[in-house]
Structure 1
Amino acid sequence: MVDVPHGHDAAESMTAPPKAACAESAAQASPGPLQSELADTRDKLLRSLAEQQNIRQQMQRQREEAVKFAASQLAGDLVDTLDNLRRAIESVPPDAADHASIGPLLKGVQNTESNLLATLARHGMQRIHPLGAAFDPHVHHAIIQRPDETAADGTVVEVLQPGYTLHDRVLRPAMVGVAVRGKRESGPAAG
């Protein structure tokens, strides 16, 4: 025989949810120390994962930059060789360039310079051609100021030594002469 509760107790037991369900809903309604700790731990985990991702991305950028600029020391050393080739070419007088013994030698030096520049260009190195450009202290080094009424103030009017970049990073700034308007007293160069 089944014992059935009578009266008011019977109605409560029929409509009341089980005690476990009450405890769960009470825990959701007011977060206890366990929920707070769980949320805190979850927040720490997400922050840690984000930090790890940032570190991975930073290491990837550093690795790519290291590969990109690994040859910068070699490229910087080759700048002197390019300067010497250019000096050799410019040292030949124009009338001697057609001479039977000098002409082929000059042509060989010009071809060597051209091939070296092309090879370096394939690897990201470029010669800076500033003549006629506005003076830029990031890529030019002003050695002299020259009065020039035909050029705008601050325009590069003379290149004393070419500059070079490697992947848009300056290896050596171009040494230049900069135009100034009117009479200029001699003094220290700009830049």
Structure 2
Amino acid sequence: MELDPRKLCRAFITTCKAMGVNKSRVVNALDILLEDETKPTPTVEGDLILGVVGHPYLLYDEFLNLNLLSKLSDMGVTYVTSADIDHTILDTYIKQDYDVYWLYEREMIGAANYFATNRKFNGIIYCVSFGCGPSSVVSEFMQRVIAKRIPLLMLVLDEHATEIGLLTRIEAFCDMLRWK
């Protein structure tokens, strides 16, 4: 009989909350417990470790993201995308107070919380293509909540974005993190 890891995580959190244990301590314990099986593998090894958050179509389409991931690896940056994180981990980092109904936006919020909580990450790059709709909700969350906990670079990848402009922004962000 195989157990569902999501149900186990929820049961563990519920039990610990009933015992009066702080939820952040429970989530950290779950991270350690699940680390071997569900730890996202960095795509590229480097001196900085960044979380890259965005819709999968924006993260993996090199035309749309102006070769963002290639540029990061060329700069010697280790990155983990929001799509690389196991859903059992995402579920524990999606805060109930930020009740978002859209699936990908919920996953992006969970990933951002994971990156901001995990001390291994130096910063987050948030990729967005629209300033309206569901993306505007996540953008507000990133600016108001996540940016207070970890350095954040928000990249708007639309028809006005250029490859040189993108390169300048990520180089400046990485330089700032290295000097920190």
TM over 0.5: no
Bigger Cα Rg = 1
Q: Give the strand-richer structure, 1 or 2.
A: 1
> Relative CO higher for 1 or 2, CA cutoff 8 Å, sep ≥ 6?
2
- The TM-score range, normalised by the shorter chain, is under 0.3
